[in-house]
């Protein structure tokens, strides 16, 4: 199982209630594919960066979930078939492990490296 997130931009004519209903339907599609829903974040109506299908605004919703790849494919198929979805994008989240902390380098003067000679050492 992998972690995914899908951002959807929905048609503004749906209204808030219609948009919430559509988000719930997409959530049901994921749950049918045995996905574990982590978070549903409805951002509400926002201005689009550019016109999409003659619309200047859209209802944004983000779903974070954990599932197998075939559940994501089914969700995307449902989103493509729905005319009320202006745009969507699904991405797999990659959790990188933090690199180990660096060890402090010893100071060259204390370690006896170049430049650590004193006048007494040179004779």
pLDDT per residue over 57-86, tens digit each?
999 999 999 999 899 999 999 999 999 999
pLDDT band at 87 (very low <50, low <70, confident <90, very high): very high
| Distant-in-sequence, close-in-space partners of 110: CB < 8 Å, separation ≥ 6 | 116
Q: Per the CATH hierarchy, to which homologous superfamily does domain 2-92 belong?
A: Ribosomal protein S6/Translation elongation factor EF1B (3.30.70.60)
Dist CA 102 CA 2 (whole Å): 30
Residue 108 predicted with pLDDT over 70: no
CA 55 to chain centre: 25
Q: In what order do the strands lie in the sheet with 85-92?
A: 36-52, 55-67, 2-10, 85-92
Dist CA 54 CA 107 (whole Å): 65
The label of the residue with tokens 């006896």 reads: 112
């Amino acid at each position: 199982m992998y972690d995914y997130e899908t951002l959807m931009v929905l048609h503004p004519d749906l209204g808030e209630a219609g948009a919430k209903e559509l988000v719930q339907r997409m959530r049901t599609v994921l749950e049918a594919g045995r996905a574990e829903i982590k978070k549903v974040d409805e951002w509400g109506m926002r201005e689009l960066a550019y016109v999409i299908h003659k619309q200047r605004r859209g209802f944004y919703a983000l779903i974070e979930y954990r599932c197998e790849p075939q559940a994501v494919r089914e969700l995307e198929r449902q989103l493509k078939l729905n005319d009320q979805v202006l745009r969507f994008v699904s991405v797999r989240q990659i959790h990188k492990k933090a690199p180990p902390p660096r060890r402090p380098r010893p100071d060259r003067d204390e370690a006896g490296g170049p430049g650590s000679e004193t006048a007494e050492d040179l004779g």
